[in-house]
Chain A
Amino acid sequence: MKERIPVEVDGLELELSNLDKVFYPQTGFTKAEVVDYYTRVSPVMLPHLAGRAVTLKRYPDGVNGEFFFEKECPAFHPDWVETTTVPSRNERGKVTSCVVENLATLVWLANLATLEFHTQLSRKAGEDRPDSLVFDLDPGPPADTLDAAWAALRLKEALADEGLECFPKTSGGKGMHVLVPLNTPLDFKRTKSFAHTMAQELEKTYPDRVTSVMRKELRKGKIFIDWSQNDPHKTTVCAYSLRAGTRPFVSAPVRWEELEEAQRRADAGALAFEAWEVLARVEDAGDLLDPVLKLKQSL
């Protein structure tokens, strides 16, 4: 029997359902725990979601079940859920996406089994104005998280040579994301070509360990620096989003020192954070990625 519990969140009403359903069978992490995690992490996560069109990755039957990759905001959304129309490559040429402006929206989407929130890089939906630049460092087996951390550190050095500060987060899987705050007038054409050049340069310096080419066969044992996500049509998993892996790992902001430390101790596990660890870290240090929203840098 389906249990529905009407709740009030900041004066807005919605219903929660199936709270006992297990979403991560390996650890027994339930839907209630998903909703609870997003509620608790919302003070640091909402600023990264605000204004942006989100793509939802929903897992109604948990991480092992069928999933839905939805750019479209579900049509039955409560009227207090903000939406925005963004250009799309579908037949209609556009799609109406959800914008997560408040806790109620985040909870409502979590209750729809949204485990992953993917966001666009422009803060105002549909605008050609990325407010940050992202590198997605993806290890091709047998390369792993430590190799990705190594590449992230090299990328940080290369960016420092360009006078740019950058900030890392885990992908929540085996990879690392490196974010470069911009918050200045730049368009995707510029950020994408810059990211591409940086990736190629790193590939030139470390040809045995790094590639800037997507082709699977070239990625074996190397870190693929994906520069192509700096695109108005693409989304990247949002900071603090859960990932639909075996355990409730999070795409978690980290410190550069933690990458170095993990390297030194050859401890990949030190760079994997589950929901409860992320909550403890936020309590301790707040939002490590706060500068990404504020620091002004130009290319």
Chain B
Amino acid sequence: MTGTHALILASPAAETTREVGYWILAILSVAAAVGMVLARRAVHCAMLLAVVMLSLAAFYAMLGAPFLSFVQIIVYTGAVLMLFLFVLMIVGISAADSIIETIRGQRLWAALAGIAMLVLLSLVVGHAVIGPAAPSTAKFGSANVSSLANLIFTRYLYPFEVTSALLIVAAVGAMVLAHRERTTPKPTQRELAARRIASGRPAPLPGPGTYAQHNAADMPALLPDGSQSGLSVSPVLSGRSGEQPRELPGHPAPGTGSSLARPASAGAVAVPASPGGQEAGER
């Protein structure tokens, strides 16, 4: 088993494949990392970071670390990056950096510091003796997981145990930090019902897409008199990035003077007799 493995690694065709793969992934990962620093929206940064992490997983596989390669995909790309995306959803998906410098000349100095660091690290790496790869053994192939387990549970047993303490502290700390005390008592069913009756509209709002040709959530419902109900589209959707609720196909665009399709974005157009109509305009 190990004999064939070493044979495959040493064959010239496999070597060429490794080289081509290395250069493609290296250029891809560096480009994605640069894009991550330059992209203004945080979501794009997260996606580009995923590209870098997946390329690194491929590099680990090339370097004879199949276990780390899978841990990289499962833990980093799967868990850590998803956590980033969840927090982005909380903070606001469209949060973009401002391009105004708060400290004068910060970008210039940051670029200079980056170049200085690159020069320093290149000198260090250039002076270090980096030899060729050691002859491939089963430790870097089929027996990788068992060899790592041997090391972790013998020589690195104490750091491994300390790691569990770290993880517990991190989990408890995250719960304490993210917990929010309730400052007002939770409303009961009775209070909710009373509030609803007092609001003047005990019935639920019309659902989006009712009687329309599409049932998408951002499609205003058609009322029996043919007008569109602005109440049926969630204010979150109609307010998102300033876009209006979609026009119904087959109906004239707003502003053409038709009495049938009145613009839903105008607010409280929908139900002339509805007491809730005024609320929709204020939302």
A complexed with B: no
